[in-house]
Structure formats: structure tokens, C-alpha cells
Chain A
Amino acid sequence: MRHTLAVLVENSPGVLSHVAGLFARRGYNIESLVVGETEDRTISRITLVVEGDERVLEQVSKQLNKQVDVIKVNDITEDETVDRQLLLIRVSADQSNRQEILQIVEIFRCRIVDIGRRSLIVEATGDEAKIEAVIKSLRPFGIQELVCTGKVAMVRGSK
């Protein structure tokens, strides 16, 4: 099963290699990883997506928690969260299909952020399902280049 871990860490050199190294040494592949500062600039938040069974993940979380520069580990897989990824995608485009692409961009509420002679760069944000749908819809036009961030996630407020 895929798990999403939200890891609060000290914003200090080496912390990323400590966290990543822990997974590598145990042979687990990190599917995606995003690091950034939080409201407190001395604390960073790492959002990690990893594949693994319950026991393995529990073990890794405990090991992560033992690292001196890790402040807190939360497995938010089961929580109600808002998830976002950012996608930049360069699609082949000419006069004949530009209009069609623009329509898709409209439907998914994406944005065109660059126009070239033979291509467009589309920017999309959304959860995993949306990002996948955008990619799927643009694929027929020819994808020249694609870059996507890992997922950032935040637990929803109590209602």
C-alpha cells in the first residue's frame, strides 16, 4: 500500500540525506518527496510517498523518529487531506490543434505559461487524479517534456 508521511525536520544541512538514507538502507524506494520551509523557518516539512506494508512503514516511521533532526513523523495516509502536485508539461501545438488544447486547459482549469512556435507549456495543479487526467488528455497531441513535483499534503481542519 502507498503511504503518505508528513515529516517535520530541523532545517539543517544533512537532514535530507539522513531521511532519504534511512529508506535507501532498508531497500525502500521513495516514490516522491517534497521538502520546503514551514511557517517556522527553522523547521522544514518533508512530504514523502512510499510503498510498503503496514509493518514495514511502522518500522521506518519509528527509525525516522529516532533521527536527531527529525521532530515528528505523521502517517497521514488515512487522514482527510488536501493534496496538491504541480505539473509543467510541454505539448506539441500548431495552428491546427491549438484551439483544442486551449479547451482542455480551460476544462481542467490549467494555465498556459509559455507559447512557442511549435509548442505550449501547460501548468496544472491538483491532486493525483487530476494530474493524471490532464496528462492523459494532452498525450494525443504529443508530449515533448514533462515535469511534476511530488505531492504536498495538509490534513483538513475538523468540521
Chain B
Amino acid sequence: MMNGAQYLLRFLERKGVDLVFGYPGGKVIPLYDVLAGSKLRHVLARHEQGAVHAAEGYAEASGKPGVCFATSGPGATNLVTGIADAHQDSVPLFLVTGQVGLGDLGRDAFQEADITGIATPVTKNTYLIQESRQMPDVLEEAWQVMTTGRPGPVLVDIPSDIFVGQSDFPEPGTRILTRKIPMKHRLMKNLPTIVDRINQAKRPLILAGGGVVISGVRNELLQLMEKMNIPAANTLKGKGACPETHPLSLGMAGMHGRAAANLAMKNCDLLLAVGARFSDRVTGNPKKFLPDAFVVHVDLDIAELGKNIPADIGVAGDARTFLNTLLNRPELKRNPETDAWIQQIQQWEAEFPDDGGGDYEGVKSQAVIREAARQAGPTAVVVTDVGQHQMFVAQHYPLDAPRDFITSGGLGTMGFGLPAAAGAAFGRPGENVLLFVGDGGFQMTVQELAVLREHDLPVKIFLMNNGVLGMVYQWQALFYKENYSQTVFGHNPDFVKLAEAYDIPAFRLDQPDQIAPVIRRALDQAGPALIDCRIDPRELVLPMVPAGGTLEDMMGRWRGETHISRISGE
């Protein structure tokens, strides 16, 4: 006999969980009461949103599921942003919320919220436990659902009397998942056609998405690239999926993609998309995207095939199986005509180099990011918040390994960065974590600085402080006649003093010649450190394809000009 809370902790231990993020409250006191008797380590966040983003950062950095506890009502609703974020970015999260007692359900009891109802559209599944003896089956199923196929969040809502109720819990049976009949896949049927198309393609291109990171097929992808002379662009979540320092890697494509990557997309005759979901941030106007290409779309989630972009061949399946099968095909032969394509791309790279920033005095984001990358070396995890700084990092921080880049992609959640960086530090002990965060997003979850200090986490915060909500400010500059409505902060705190209040060493960076030494000092700290980087608010992320636009609309400071124009010259 044990109580429900003990059973839950046993269950998590059995699943190999050793770390949980969370925040207590009335309905989970029984759970926290028995925590000390388990092998689990609990990290107390300073807000449930912090706990859930930390669990996400942990999961993305370590490749293991993130686990998060919260109390009923406001505790549970505070999780919602993080749950939706994990859902969009396919992050496996196991969320446990306390609920009011069974007898109080549906009576608007104190701190009651229908969290399973609220979370249904943003989870893979939710469960409300109504009897102690359901615990084994429900927990087992929830765990399976979270990890099977495309990963994502699951939520188990547990009424307080189930936590305290004693029971001898039965062995878990296999519940409903065994009955599910998967949709028919055309997994390998089309392989001969795919091989043929790749062999014949003169201008082939790979688009690597977050699925490549999740399925860990960096090496297989690289083999294919090298064997067949196929260049690869990546999505935001696919950053690090193929080594960005490799000559065949073009970096990020899409709205703020690199010019050569976007031009390659526009001109390719074959696109092999692996684990990418063709978000509108990649495609722009989907009707005018990929005018000439034969599209092969590989995704674990069959519902992604044909969702945003019609695929000529859709392959529903695991990227590893697909790539290995492909690579083992003896008919796969490198097409010599691809050489001209690679040359063409190199020409674009030379003609349209990365934007180094506008004609302003002062510290430039691009320079800070490049110097940070240079000093941090290859063994660091890079985390961002959401905004201009995020795009600058995606463009200018070259990354070679999957799981080294953690960012809120699909939902674009400001406030994600700081807690996710804390989680990443737990997930990758011994490695430095570099957090790039805007002055806006930083203030959304700034309370989690306490977690960095409490656990002495080596998170180096690059506060990209431009005094504005930069990304929105940029849209207002370009598309709203410089009507900077509500995007300029009338007051910002002294971030150096703020960090110091948490006992975190902090440095101000406002001179370009100080970039290297200040970064050195921050990296030399054993634990956390903050650099308040003073950035010009007028800086723009370029290139930029306006929302819903096409690649001809890509705006930038082209060919050394200081003014912004479209790449087509119009």
C-alpha cells in the first residue's frame, strides 16, 4: 500500500526521471510532502511559466522528456503558455497538475480550473484521474503518448484525494494505444521514384527542420549531402541539424533567412524537406513558394504532409529509416551537373553576404553574437528569447550540433529564454549556456534569475538591450510609417543593478572595442553572469521577406548599399 503521490513518484523514477521543475500549492501539498522520500530532484521555479519553460529547455538540451508539477487553478493556468509552446515545437513534456477533490469537481471550488479542457487543444492528450486504480494505466499511457511518434506535451490532472488515497496499485495493463489503427503510409513505395528524382536533379536542395534534431539524424543527412553534392538550408528549429560551418550548409531560410538559402529555395528543381513543416515563416506566400521544384516531404507526422505545401511525394515515417534506406540504394549516383548549382550558390553567397548592421556608431548585435560564438567554442548551448536578437543569433551564430540551439519557434513566446536557459543548464551539466534575450522578453520572466543563482548555473546572459520591442518596432519602421505605437519603453531598470540584486555578476557593454574583453570576463565567471549590451534601437534584421511575400520581395542592404531595397532591384 502507498498513496497516489508516492505511486506517481515511483512511476517517474521507473521512467528514468531524476529532475522535476515545479511550484507547490494547496492541492499538491500531499505530492510535495512525499517528495523527499523519492530519488527525484525538484527545482523550484519562481513562476509556473518559468517551471514549464525550464522543463522545455531541459528536454530540448538533453533529449529526455521534461517533467513539471503545478497546483490546481492558477498554478495550472500559468502553465498554458509553455504547454502551447511545447506543442508547437514538438517538445516532450509530462505535466502533472493538482486538482480539487473529486467531490468538489464542477462546483467552482476554490482554485478549481478545468485544466484538461483548457489544455486539450495544445497537448497530445490530457487525462483527469478519477479513481486511484486508474493511476497505473493512465500514467503509462500518458508517457507512451508523449514519447511515441512526434513528441509533445501531455497533461495529467490529479484530484487531491487521489494523491492521499491509499491503494495497492495494480500493474499497468496496456490500454487503448494498442487498438489504434495507424493511417496507411506510403513509406517506401515511392523510393525508386525518389532515387530517380535525386539522381536527375540539377539543382537539388535539402530543407532540414526540427525533426532532424529530434530524430538525431545529423550524420545521415550529412552523408547524403556529401555523397550527392546536395546543399542544405535549415529552418529556425532545424538550426544545428546540419553543421552550419560545412560548405554545403546554407544556413537558415525563410522570412529572415540568409539570401543564398532563400535564392536556393526559389531556384531549386528538387526540394527534399526532412522533418520540416513548412511554416508560414519559411514559405512566405505558399502559392508562390517553390515555383520549379519537385517536392519530397519526409515527416514522422502524416498530418504534416500536404498541410501547408502540396508534396509531390510525401513520406510519412522516421527520418532515420528513410535516410538509411535511401543511402543504401546502390542506384544513388551523384549528378555532375550539381557542380554548376553549387557554384551558382557560392556566387550568391559572395554577392549577398550577411548583413553586418546599419551605419550606426556603437555596439552591434551581429558583432557581439559572432564574438560570443568565437569565444564560447563548440561546446556551448545557445538559447534565445523571441525578437530581433533571436533572428540575429539564428543568422550569425554558426552551430554544428543538434540540441545546441534552443528557441521558441512555432509559438514565438517572449519570456521563454531565461527559464529555458536554466533548464538547458540542468540538461547539459558542465557546459556553458549562452542566453540571448531582449530587454522586453527578459522582463517577462526575469524572476528566474533566482534559479540561476540558487543552483549556480553557468548561464551567460547577453541582454540585447535596445530599449524597444525591437521586432515590432522594425515592422512599424518598415510597414507602419514609423508609427512607433507602444514599442518604446519609457523606463527600463538598470539591468546591471538588477542582476547584482540577485548576486549575479553583471557588466555593461557600450563600447565596440570592449566586446571581446567583456565577453571574456563573463565567460570566465564560474556561475551565471549578465552583459547589458547597449544596442541601437534603429537596427533592422535583414534580409526580410515581408509576411506573405515572395523571395523577390526579400529586402536588404544589397551590394554594399546603405539603403534598403528589394533583391529583385525593384
Contacts and interface: CB of A to CB of B under 8 A. Distances in A.
Chain A bound to chain B: yes
Interface of A: 10, 12, 14, 17-18, 21, 25, 43, 55, 58-59, 61-63, 65-73
A59 B179 contact: no
B542 to A, nearest CB: 35
Given A55-B306, A65-B183, A21 B120 contact: yes
Contacts of B307: 59
A97 B176 CA distance: 56
A21 B118 CA distance: 12
A10 B145 CA distance: 15
Nearest to A25: B121
Contacts of A72: 180-181
Given A55-B306, A63-B303, A71 B124 contact: no
B125 A68 contact: yes
A69 B120 contact: no
Contacts of A71: 176, 179-181
A56 to B, nearest CB: 11
B518 interface: no
B302 A62 contact: yes
A66 B301 CA distance: 9
Contacts of B179: 10, 43, 71
B181 A68 contact: no
Contacts, number: 47
Contacts of A58: 306
Contacts of A10: 176, 179
B303 A66 contact: yes
A69 B116 CA distance: 15
14 contacts: A10-B176, A21-B120, A21-B121, A25-B121, A59-B306, A59-B307, A61-B183, A63-B303, A65-B182, A65-B302, A66-B301, A66-B303, A68-B176, A69-B125
A68 B145 contact: yes
Contact of A62 (B117, B125, B145, B183): B183
Main secondary structure of the interface of B (DSSP, over half): helix
A52 to B, nearest CB: 14
Nearest to B142: A68
Nearest to A69: B176
Nearest to A40: B179
B177 interface: yes
Contacts of A17: 117, 120
B299 to A, nearest CB: 11
Nearest to B303: A62
A24 B42 CA distance: 39
Contacts of A70: 180
A73 to B, nearest CB: 8
A108 B182 CA distance: 42
Interface string B256-274: 0000000000000000000
A41 to B, nearest CB: 14
Interface in B168-182: 176-177, 179-182
Contacts of A67: 125
A61 B141 CA distance: 23
Nearest to B126: A14
A64 to B, nearest CB: 9
B123 to A, nearest CB: 10
Nearest to B308: A59
Contacts of A63: 303
